């Protein structure tokens, strides 16, 4: 699925004061079909907002968002989102959480369970099929959440910090898995992370957003060959990219600190 965004702005109204908060301001970029794009930027710069707009869950205040040349009009079956905080259905087991999207698409239970089983194995959740969300850890819930999005094989996969609750070892494993699955499916993917090395490892391109209001600061192409091995994280080329992106993020972090000091003024 091809994405074309021009002049996208999103404003929220603050509940208490009624003030306007500009989350995204005049954001524009295009993503070719089948690309893996990571989004990084300081907390509160509008990363989740950007994904919600693409998912059809948040309407733009201005601008145009086209998916395969058609404007986004609400959510659609061809898109799946992994939310920042795992939102599992508490009354369904792990297995039935993963089959849910397939059931909605009219896939038979038998078939859905078969497909879901593969993704449950992939996410390292074998043996927990019949557990309920409250009976598994936060990191496991996150992996169920991931399996649930992947299982429907969407044309556009939106992932909002999907590995934030995982320990570093498991995070590495999941990065490899996501890259491996993407190699097979080549679904257009937008992946938000605050870890620079995760973004470099996964992405064809990294979109760096500025501090709020989020604008495009820079789009950095990443050209490591695929399939990628964890070893690339130790190469000089990788370190050069890490330094460059850290520098960009530092500039924006200073901006956040400055904004806060302004807000604190009497």
Binders in 8-37 for ligand ATP, by CB under 6 A = 12, 21, 23
Nearest to Mg ion of 48, 193 (CB atom):
48
Q: Which partner from the list Mg ion, ligand ATP, none does 171 bind, CB cut-off 5 to 8 Å by kind? A: none
Shortest distance in whole angstroms from residue 66 CB to ligand ATP? 21
Binding pattern to ligand ATP, positions 78-117, x when CB under 6 A?
------x---------------------------------
- Cα separations in angstroms, 39 against 51, 97, 152, 252: 10, 27, 23, 14
CA 27 to chain CA centroid, nearest Å: 17
Contact region with ligand ATP (CB under 6 A), list: 38-46, 129-137, 228-236, 258-266: 38-46
Alpha carbons 143 and 146: distance in angstroms, whole number: 5
Binding site for Mg ion (CB under 5 A): 47-48, 84
Nearest to Mg ion of 47, 96 (CB atom):
47
Residue 157: what are its φ and ψ, rounded to 5°?
Answer: -110, 120
Alpha carbons 207 and 256: distance in angstroms, whole number: 18
Residue 44 is a binding residue for ligand ATP (CB under 6 A): yes
Counting Cβ atoms within 10 Å, is residue 182 exposed (0-12), middle (13-18) or buried (19+)?
Answer: buried
Shortest distance in whole angstroms from residue 195 CB to ligand ATP? 12
Residue 142 is a binding residue for ligand ATP (CB under 6 A): no
Binding residues for ligand ATP, rule CB under 6 A, total 13
Burial 64-94 (b: 16+ CB within 10 A, else e): ebebeeeebeeeeeebbbbbbebebeeeebb
Maximum CA pair distance of the chain?
63
Contact region with ligand ATP (CB under 6 A), list: 47-55, 89-97, 118-126, 221-229: 47-55
Kindly give the residue spans of alpha helices, DSSP state H, lying in the chain. Answer: 47-55, 94-104, 109-122, 138-150, 168-185, 196-202, 236-263
Binders in 183-212 for ligand ATP, by CB under 6 A = 212
Residue 46 is a binding residue for ligand ATP (CB under 6 A): yes
Nearest to ligand ATP of 74, 236 (CB atom):
74
Angle between helices 94-104 and 109-122 (to 10 degrees): 130
Nearest to Mg ion of 5, 120 (CB atom):
5
Rule CB under 6 A: choose which of 9, 48, 97, 210 binds ligand ATP: 48
Q: Which two tokens stand for residue 92?
A: 């369904």
């Amino acid at each position: 699925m091809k994405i074309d965004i021009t002049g996208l702005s999103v404003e929220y109204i603050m509940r208490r004061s009624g003030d306007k908060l500009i989350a995204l301001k005049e954001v524009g970029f295009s993503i070719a079909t089948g690309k893996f794009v990571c989004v990084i930027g300081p907390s509160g710069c509008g990363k989740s907002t950007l994904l919600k707009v693409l998912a059809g869950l948040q309407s733009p205040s201005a601008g145009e968002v086209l998916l395969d040349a058609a404007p986004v009009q609400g959510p659609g079956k061809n898109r799946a989102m992994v939310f920042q905080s795992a939102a599992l259905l508490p009354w369904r087991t792990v297995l039935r959480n993963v089959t849910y999207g397939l059931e909605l698409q009219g896939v038979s239970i038998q078939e859905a369970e078969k497909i879901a089983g593969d993704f449950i194995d992939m996410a390292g959740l074998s043996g927990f099929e019949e557990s309920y969300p409250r009976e598994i850890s936060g990191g496991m819930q996150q992996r169920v959440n991931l399996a649930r999005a992947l299982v429907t094989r969407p044309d556009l996969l939106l992932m909002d910090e999907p590995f934030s609750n995982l320990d570093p070892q498991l995070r590495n494993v999941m990065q490899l898995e996501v890259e491996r699955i993407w190699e097979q499916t080549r679904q257009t993917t937008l992946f938000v992370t605050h870890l620079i090395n995760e973004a470099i490892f996964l992405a064809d391109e990294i979109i760096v957003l500025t501090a709020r209001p989020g604008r495009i600061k820079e789009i950095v192409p990443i050209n490591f060959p695929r399939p990628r091995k964890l070893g690339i994280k130790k190469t000089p080329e990788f370190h050069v990219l890490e330094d460059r992106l850290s520098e960009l993020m530092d500039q924006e972090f200073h901006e956040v600190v400055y904004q806060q000091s302004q807000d604190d003024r009497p």
